[in-house]
């Protein structure tokens, strides 16, 4: 890894199918209950 940049906090690249799922996920489960 190049330590000098901020690559560690960059979202990994997603395929279209993965992006669709990613966009549908509610990350805070408490928001669903």
Q: Kindly state the smallest distance separating residue 16's Cβ from another protein, in Å.
A: 11
Closest CA to 14 of 5, 25, 26: 25
Total number of residues binding another protein (CB under 8 A)? 24
Q: For residue 16, give the 3-state DSSP assignment.
A: helix
Pinpoint the alpha helices (H) of the chain.
Answer: 16-24
| Residue 10 lies near another protein (rule: CB under 8 A) | yes
In whole angstroms, what is the distance from residue 27 CA to residue 21 CA?
A: 12
Asked if 9 touches another protein (CB under 8 A), the answer is yes
16 scored as a contact of another protein (CB under 8 A): no
Write out the residues near another protein by the rule CB under 8 A. 1, 3-6, 8-15, 17-18, 21-22, 24-27, 29, 32-33
């Amino acid at each position: 890894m190049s330590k000098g940049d901020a690559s560690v906090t960059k979202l990994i690249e997603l395929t279209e199918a993965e992006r669709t799922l990613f966009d549908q996920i509610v990350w805070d489960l408490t928001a669903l209950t």
